[in-house]
Amino acid sequence: MAYQSENLIAQAREIREASRVSQRALSERAGLTQSHISQIESGKMEPGLSSFIDLTRALDLEVMLVPKKLVPAVLGLVKAQATPDMHIHAGQPNDKRFARAERLVKKMKHLYGSSADLDRIEDTLRFLRRVNLRDQEMQLVRELIARLERYQASAQAAPVVRDIAQNLQRLRNSIAHPAPSEPRPAYSLDDGDADA
Amino acid sequence: MAYQSENLIAQAREIREASRVSQRALSERAGLTQSHISQIESGKMEPGLSSFIDLTRALDLEVMLVPKKLVPAVLGLVKAQATPDMHIHAGQPNDKRFARAERLVKKMKHLYGSSADLDRIEDTLRFLRRVNLRDQEMQLVRELIARLERYQASAQAAPVVRDIAQNLQRLRNSIAHPAPSEPRPAYSLDDGDADA
DNA sequence: GAATCCAATACAGTATTCTATATCACAACT
DNA sequence: AGTTGTGATATAGAATACTGTATTGGATTC
């Protein structure tokens, strides 16, 4: 099931990982079991409010209620403080990034001939561009694009390109088919979409 | 009961009352039952995280994760903007609309058994919810949902459901596989995190 | 006094969380 | 090869969230 809470949970997970706390260590501090935390983080179960609070408190976080209107302000506040030595130049808006990436792919197709992998990348980029990506997801995309740029002219570009294509597609699938729980109907093929 | 969540819940209740929204009205917008809300507010039961989020979102609030250190700052920010008379738009935000629709589908699956069409609708809704829809597109979705609500119990629901599923899927495909490269309004709502 | 709208409460049934314990596969390091 | 730490998973059972529906008593307003 696609839950409304996945953002919050993903955030908590990121912070846990960033602070190098293992699920086990956290479980002791928060008073939950490791298995429980694993299932929550992997989206296999939806925590109760109090479990979630326990979890976040153990990470030195507070759950707060903020008027929608103020969300950007708070976000700014938190972000400013959170990464004092993180040099993520927030410069380029995502949209431009995608535009550049698509141009790059086009150029590669033109130079080295088109391939199934390049086609896949192009297609997936076009898709991802339209979606609201979480920071974490955007980060992944950024990395993949950077890698593509780095290896574009390399001799062994082929396997790298394939890997990038696979990663992008995986991300895409995780967004397009976010439901891990339903008994998958037989008609749903593993990879592509049912679209036609 | 006296749990960690007492505060948050009390806060939510205060805001509900300040906005003069009855439990019943809120229950409809949040997709919970009035009885449920009453028990939550009176501390007789601890809501799940997602129930709580549904609740707060219906009150135009966001649940956010804030480093303990920054809590006073955020508190100040929120309080400064304190609500002289906050009232809630009658217009349902899209998010709520989707939540309701998904809930409806779930109910239908439960009542009449799940079908390929219902699965498809569920899947597609989950997808569309994540995407930036243009006004025109959102309008279509709204109409389709309204139709689903109207026909949910009808005798000839089946063909209607199928038609709705088809329409939704077509919309989805047009987004996932845009024919030409198209610009999109880059608009990032509430997804924020402090990245590691 | 009747009619509303409100919140609280009850109750039956289902679905899910949550605990506790254990295991597995995969790393990294000795 | 063995040890250790990681996260993912399995299973079984107790607890409880959640739905739906319905009723209650209180406060209003006509």
Domain ranges (residues) in chain A: 6-82, 94-176
Counts of helices then strands in chain A (DSSP H, E)? 9, 1
Residue A24 to residue A146: CA distance in whole angstroms: 34
Angle at CA of residue A14, ends B125 and B79, nearest 5° = 80
Average pLDDT over residues B138-158: 73
Helix axes A6-18, A34-41, angle to 10 degrees: 120
pLDDT in tens, A125-144: 877 766 666 666 777 787 78
Residue A83 has pLDDT above 70, yes or no: no
Beta bridge partners of B67: A61
Tokens standing for residue B52: 């709580």
Average pLDDT over residues A116-127: 77
Task: Report the gap between the CA of A71 and the closest CA in chain B (Å).
Answer: 7
What is chain A's mean pLDDT, rounded?
A: 73
Mutate to test the interface with B, among A19, A39, A55, A63 (most CBs of B within 10 A): A63
Residue A49 has pLDDT above 60, yes or no: yes
Tokens standing for residue B141: 């979705």
Residue B52 to residue B41: CA distance in whole angstroms: 11
Is B155 an 8 Å CB contact of chain A? no
Residue B17 to residue B22: CA distance in whole angstroms: 7
Tokens standing for residue A7: 């953002």
Q: A176: which chain B residues are within 8 Å (Cβ-Cβ)? A: 127, 176
A139 vs B125, residue with greater confidence: B125
pLDDT of res. B77: 84
Tokens standing for residue A58: 């153990």
Kindly report the backbone phi and psi dihedral angles of residue A83, in degrees, each rounded to the nearest multiple of 5, phi listed first.
-130, 80
Average pLDDT over residues A9-29: 90
Helix axes A23-30, A49-57, angle to 10 degrees: 110
A6-82 CATH fold: 434 Repressor (Amino-terminal Domain) (1.10.260)
* Minimal-distance CA residue of chain A relative to B182: A126
Decide if A15 and B126 are in contact by the 8 Å CB cutoff: no
From residues 58-117 of A, which are strand D contacts by CB within 7 A?
none
Of A9, A72, A25, A145, give the one whose Cα is nearest residue B77: A72
Residue B180 has pLDDT above 60, yes or no: no
According to CATH, what is the number of the domain B6-80?
1.10.260.40
Residue B169 has pLDDT above 70, yes or no: yes
